[in-house]
Amino acid sequence: MSCKRFVEKTVIITGASSGIGKSIAMEFAKEGANLVLGYYTHPIPDEIIKNAESEGVKAIPVKVDVRKKSDCEMMVSTAVDMFDRLDIAINNAGVSTMN
């Protein structure tokens, strides 16, 4: 029997569509956390949402530009509105500008 360490916790993860962000999301779902998953260019894959559901938690995808304060505030509001709390925020988004 495994002990899920993040039951009833809410985690925001930016850059959650692939790579490290995707792996972080999958692990937090496995540990019982509800997720608010930020993406910008590439939508959150169904695989992540289905994995969360199979673990008995929810994963809410949110399009967010982390360079915009209003988008970041909206992401936090989504977490609080959906789950009544925010426990952990992981800023994993990659940001670059063209010169």
Pairwise CA distance, residues 25 & 37, whole Å: 8
Pairwise CA distance, residues 39 & 62, whole Å: 6
Residue 9 identity (one-letter amino acid): K
Give per-residue pLDDT as tens, 9-19.
999 999 999 99
Mean confidence (pLDDT) of the chain: 95
Q: How many residues make up the chain in this entry?
A: 99
Domains and CATH numbers, the chain: 10-90 (3.40.50.720)
pTM of the model: 0.91
Pairwise CA distance, residues 35 & 27, whole Å: 11
Q: Where residue 94 falls among pLDDT bands split at 50, 70, 90? A: confident
Pairwise CA distance, residues 3 & 1, whole Å: 7
